[in-house]
Amino acid sequence: MAVEPEMSSSDLTELLRLLDEASINVWLNGGWGVDALLGRQTRHHRDVDIILRVSDVPKLRDILGDKDFAVRDGIPPNSFVLSNEQGLEVDVHAVVFDNDGNGVYTMQSGEDWIYPAEGFSGRGTVEGRSVACLSATTQVLCHAHGYTPIDKDFRDMELLEESFGVELPPQLKRSPA
């Protein structure tokens, strides 16, 4: 049985260090975004979901290209996945900020998704390092739209509800057994 690749906390902090050195601001979303908000790793992660400015995508691709990451899925600059030979993935959601500070993200379908300005205020920690991430309420908003949650998503949302008191919409609550 093949071992599934893992985006470890040290892999993530190294990635963030490289991006910091290049003056690329990123916000963590998804599983690592939840774990950063919680200040601890709660589960295995195969990838990291990041949000950054569309204007930073060329620099991001150059930096990660030097680390053998290449486009595996999607179409740059807005919505794509970079992966390396070890199977680690960086799921990129590039935005253009509007005049109100909202992040406008053009999805692969061509439709726009709006990350609310408030969402970019999240702060968390990974291996003691302070990181930018989406706020707990915006994490819930993102998980409530666009895809069918699976067990890990339900657990992530339960942890946000327990830790931050965010209200979960019905589609993010497990059905009673």
* pLDDT tens by residue, 75-125: 999 999 999 999 999 999 999 999 999 999 998 889 999 999 999 999 999
pLDDT of residue 174 exceeding 70, the answer is: yes
pLDDT of residue 3 exceeding 90, the answer is: no
What mean pLDDT do residues 13-36 have? 97
What mean pLDDT do residues 155-161 have? 96
| Structural domain boundaries enclosing 157 | 9-164
Q: Give the SS3 label for residue 54.
A: helix
Q: How does residue 177 score in pLDDT terms, banded at 50, 70 and 90?
A: low
Helices 136-144 and 151-164, packing angle to 10 deg: 150
Q: What are phi and psi of 124, to 5 degrees?
A: -150, -170
Residue 176 within a domain:
no
pLDDT of residue 40 exceeding 60, the answer is: yes
Using an 8 Å Cβ cutoff, are 139 and 34 in contact? Answer: yes
Residue 27 within a domain:
yes
Residue 127 within a domain:
yes
Residue 41 within a domain:
yes
CA-wise closest residue to 26 among 165, 149, 120:
120
Residue 130 within a domain:
yes
Using an 8 Å Cβ cutoff, are 117 and 100 in contact? Answer: yes
Domain count for the chain, please give it.
Answer: 1
Q: Give the SS3 label for residue 7.
A: coil
Residue 122 within a domain:
yes
Q: So what's the pLDDT on residue 80?
A: 96
Identify the CATH number of the domain in which residue 148 sits: 3.30.460.40
Q: Is the sign of the CA dihedral 53, 34, 6, 79 positive or negative?
A: negative
Q: Is the sign of the CA dihedral 60, 65, 67, 68 positive or negative?
A: positive
pLDDT of residue 1 exceeding 70, the answer is: no
Q: Which residues lie closer than 8 Å to 19 by C-beta, 6 or more apart? A: 26, 60, 63
